[in-house]
Structure 1
């Protein structure tokens, strides 16, 4: 798996570049194909960030990431 910096992640927010990435538990996921992340926003969450700490407030578990293949690791 390739290393992805926080700066690279931040640019994939659905606004600056066409890719939409999020990080969770040290892994980076490309969620560009998800209709739930259209324009880089999912409810009150923004793409281009590490969302690990925010999952506790979500109405779903970490299993939501099972449908996405990790593209890298956050360094």
Structure 2
């Protein structure tokens, strides 16, 4: 279930606005805020992480999606 949520969040990622907050030292430490859609509301939630954390979350979601596609499906015989 969490894989589906992560996949849904990443699917909406290109449509999200990205705005840099304060930068400390280096591009990896720069805070990036994104607005994410939430279920059952039209209001978006602002989520801020460093670029490194966003990249790690993206890689985890891609890896999980690839694993889900490789899993065999169950065929149920219908009469």
**TM-score, scaled relative to structure 2:** 0.21
The TM-score with structure 1 as length reference comes to 0.22
Q: Determine which structure has more spread, i.e. the larger CA radius of gyration.
A: 2
Larger relative helix fraction: 2
Higher relative contact order (CA 8 A, sep 6+): 1
